[in-house]
Amino acid sequence: MAVSGRDMMGGLAKGLSIIEAFSAERPKLSISEAAEIAQLDRATARRCLLTLAELGYAAYDGKFFTVTPKVLRLGTGCLASMPLPRIVQPFLDQLSEDIGQSTSVSILDDTEIVYVARAAQRRVMSIALMPGSRLPAYCTSMGRVLLASLSLEDRRAFLERSDIVARTPMTLTDINALMAEIEETATRGHAMIDQEVEIGLRSLAVPLKSARGKTIAALNVGVAASAASMQDLVERYLPALGAVQGELKGLLV
């Protein structure tokens, strides 16, 4: 639905852009940093941050702002109302128990994946992942599975507007190489990532599809690189991921 300019609340939009500036990689922001990320002038960013602090959504130490747990209220209701997390969580819990590894489900949101459900066995990344966590789509196994469901034209457009950086020496950053890898993912039906997000982490993902064949989300397992080679990763865990993929196919719309 198109909204006219007079119906838009500019202040609310700016405040939300400031909240979105915080991430796992950027948990603490100065006023200038927040302004740059949110693409606002410094005075506006300062007012937004001070308002968030006054309302308890942010904390301020005199130099840096951090969001507080209260900000989770903004997303908890949304996640709780979404049927997908409720449907997949029991399957994730059982899968994680069966294979002894952490498993996750995510969806695509602009150029990032958003975790909507997770069952953690052990921590394999330096950042703590949980429902609501975000990572770039271009370098994650779940992201590539989700991108594989798009048309060739949409994949390229997606990559061209993504902030593609080398998170590790192994990260693919060339758009043509990424296009080829995503096409290979579409052909084989699963994505494999070897330490492109973080050194020491390998992951495997499959799409979760509706009964009509539409990709709804992605399911993955992440393991320490020291625990399994890429070949081992596929041989050990792809059958279990595929079984859950099959079980969920008739439940997702």
Q: Strand, coil or helix: what is 68? A: coil
Label residue 8 exposed, middle or buried (CB < 10 Å: 0-12, 13-18, 19+).
exposed
Per-residue pLDDT of the chain (253 residues; tens, 9 = 90+): 455 567 788 888 999 999 989 887 788 999 999 999 999 999 999 999 999 999 999 999 999 999 887 876 776 666 656 689 889 999 999 999 999 999 999 999 989 999 999 998 766 655 678 888 899 999 999 999 999 999 999 999 999 999 999 999 999 999 999 999 999 999 999 999 999 999 999 999 999 999 889 999 999 999 999 988 999 999 999 999 999 999 998 888 7
What distance in Å separates the CA atoms of residue 181 and residue 24, rounded to the nearest whole number?
26
| Assigned token pair, 238 | 């792809």
φ/ψ region of 139 (left if φ > 0, alpha if ψ in -120 to 50, else beta) reads: alpha
H or E element, residue 2: none
| Assigned token pair, 197 | 């997000």
pTM for the full predicted model? 0.74
Nearest to 27 by CA among 62, 56, 69, 55: 69
